[in-house]
Amino acid sequence: MILDKVENQKDVKSLSIEEMEALAQESRKLIIDKVNTISGHMGPNLGMVEMTIALHNVFNSPTDKFIFDVSHQCYTHKIITGRKDGYLNPENYFKYTGYTAPEECKDDLFKVGHTSTSVSLACGVAKARDLKGEKYNVIAIIGDGSLSGGEALEGLNNAAVLNSNIIIIINDNEMSIAENHGGLYDNLKTLRDTNGQAECNLFKALGFEYLYLEEGNNVERLIETFKKVKDTNCPTVVHIHTLKGKGLELAEKNKEFGHYMMPNTAYIDIKTLKNPDDDFQAVTLDFIREKVKTDKNAIVVNAGTPGVFRFSKDIREEFGKQYTDVGIAEEHAVAYSSALAKSGAKPILNVMSSFIQRTYDQLSQDLCLNNSPLMILIYWGGISGADATHLCTFDISMMSNIPNLVYLEPTTKEEHIAMMEYAYNQNEHPVAIRVPSCELVSDGIKDDTDYSILNKYKVTQKGQKVSIIGLGSFYHLGVEVAKYLKQELNIDATLINPRFITGVDKELLDSLKSNHDIVITLENGELNGGFGEKITRFYGNSDMKVLNYGSFKEFTDRVPLDVLFERYRLKKELIKQDVERLIK
């Protein structure tokens, strides 16, 4: 094995072309085996293998600086830079993150997982170098759809006038997670079709030097190309055409499926795969499809992650012109959808919790200040054991303090449907719904609540002494806690399903004062700036004791859920202890 000779990137420099080609095949096999065992980004990494080897052959990391975007393209980089044990040995498969991580290695400059960041970061690295009078290459690697994000475009605009060494490598695999959208991708196609010779060139228009390489999976050509741009002193774009998924038949043929693969899916017949039909997402998708079918003004919007919402190719075709994927461009997605709503269309905007973070100002200014009656669905919100770059714990804290937004979280299938119907049909407010990330709960009773009467909480069990307000997916934890308090402390707790994240039911909270001493709030997200603190503030001038449960203000990194729930005391036994301490 060539890999035996490669302890770190220095060893790549002495390899022959043939050896590097062999190294590429070995690395590719490791990536396929690992991803097929523990899941991960398959296609993007398989397309980048040769490029990464060539980069390390030509440049000298960590003196020269590589900044990966999206950093899920970094697997070969990790294999080469001293971390092959995480790929060779299944026992170590979880040792390293799937993203660049400075704590692992000096060759990783930034911890990043959200897209479109590398060019801006590289500008800062290059400018610091120039200020300090140092000499090295700064290389931003961007691609796989992340070029269309506003931060990347702002970065390109500024990189072009840096007047110094900055090398931007466009990994053009013709794809985002799904197909690409937008004029710049048409320009990339024109450039590919003309072998980089087309006069109308986005990058040249911005002022970059520009090189094109068609054979983006050919180590020898890649090395020649990188040698041409090494140590240059002007902003340079190297546009490289690669094959997403290269080396794994399924990932090559079905690039979208191959983008991120679950365990044991590398060699299956994908026709046999089915999405679950008994979870909150299935209910959501059914609702959306029905609206598109029955209302020609319905339009489904997302920003480059259709798979998160199970908008398969078939379903996208079914939506037809009632579907917009804006590409990775969340800010545009919010403003565009706000204008659609204001103009009499019926947009349904779909965003993953972690990525709604990219749109605070658009939510505030383009949407809420204009009170456009937009329906937003937020997916995957909640405490999770994910990588630090993809946490979904902050959406409530980020969104719910913006004026005019109505943010709802249902507890059952029936409530979810009723909330979606309300959000879709009303014409008064921007309304977001947090699609619960727990198992589907259904009581079979149609919810006929009038959600246009804002901020009315629902008492589901009347009791005394202790009142439990369980938000959305954590309502069910509230039920457990209530039972446990009865069993252990003989307390008949009141149980409340607030439904509205963004408002306080003052009348109800006031009424609790008469026969309750303690209010417990449970929310599946950050406590700071979240739901529970508003309840506590309401009771600030009263004798009511309030206990808030949710996650701390911290970036957790692949911490198992049960560890986090213990840490945050999100367990019936721990909550009971806290209650006991107070009533003594």
Q: Show contacts with its own copies in window 175-214 (CB under 8 A).
A: 181-184, 186-187, 199-202, 204-208
Nearer to its own copies, 266 or 368 (CB): 368
Question: How far apart are alpha carbons 145 and 173 in whole angstroms?
Answer: 9
Beta bridge partners of residue 301, listed in sequence order: 324, 349
- The binding track of 297-326 with respect to its own copies, each residue x by CB under 8 A or -, is x-x---------------------xx-x-x
At which residue do the structure tokens 């109308």 appear?
200
Q: Are 561 and 385 in contact (CB under 8 A)?
A: yes
Site residues (CB under 8 A) for its own copies, limited to 144-163:
148-151, 153-161
Residues 373-412 as x/- pattern, contact with its own copies by CB under 8 A? ---------------xx----x--xx-xxxxx--------
State CA 493 to chain mean position distance.
Answer: 37
Q: Is residue 102 part of the contact set for its own copies (CB under 8 A)?
A: yes
Distance CA 167, CA 65 (A): 10
Question: Cβ atoms within 10 A of the Cβ of 554, count?
Answer: 14
Quick one: which H or E segment has residue 521? strand 516-526
Binder among 456, 545, 567, 571 for its own copies (CB under 8 A): 545
Shortest separation between residue 266's beta carbon and its own copies, angstroms: 30
Q: Does 516 bind its own copies (CB under 8 A)?
A: no
| CA 202 to the chain's CA centroid | 28
Distance CA 347, CA 333 (A): 11
Task: Give min distance, CB of 479 to its own copies, in A.
Answer: 22
CB of 455 to its own copies, least distance (A): 12
The answer to whether the CB of 535 falls within 8 A of the CB of 504 is yes
What's the token pair of residue 569?
């005391």
Location of structure tokens 């407010």: 429
Give the dihedral sign, CA 3/5/9/15.
negative
- Smallest gap from Cβ 247 to its own copies, in A, equals 31
Are the CB atoms for 430 and 404 separated by under 8 Å? yes
Q: Which one of the spans 31-39, 308-316, 547-555, 565-573 is the region binding its own copies (CB under 8 A)?
A: 547-555
Amino acid in the structure at residue 23: L
Q: Does 365 bind its own copies (CB under 8 A)?
A: yes
- Between 47 and 327, name the residue whose CB sits nearer to its own copies: 327
> DSSP secondary-structure letter at 194?
T
CB of 19 vs its own copies, minimal distance in Å: 34
Binds its own copies (CB under 8 A): choice among 364, 449, 455, 460: 364
User: Cβ neighbours of residue 14 under 8 Å, at least 6 residues apart?
Assistant: none
Nearer to its own copies (CB atom), residue 36 or residue 120: 120
Q: Please identify, using beta-carbon distances, which residue of 283 and 374 lies nearer to its own copies.
A: 374
Contact pick of 335, 417, 432, 495 for its own copies (by CB under 8 A): 335
Our finding on whether 336 is near its own copies (CB under 8 A) is yes
Indicate whether 515 belongs to the interface with its own copies (CB under 8 A): no
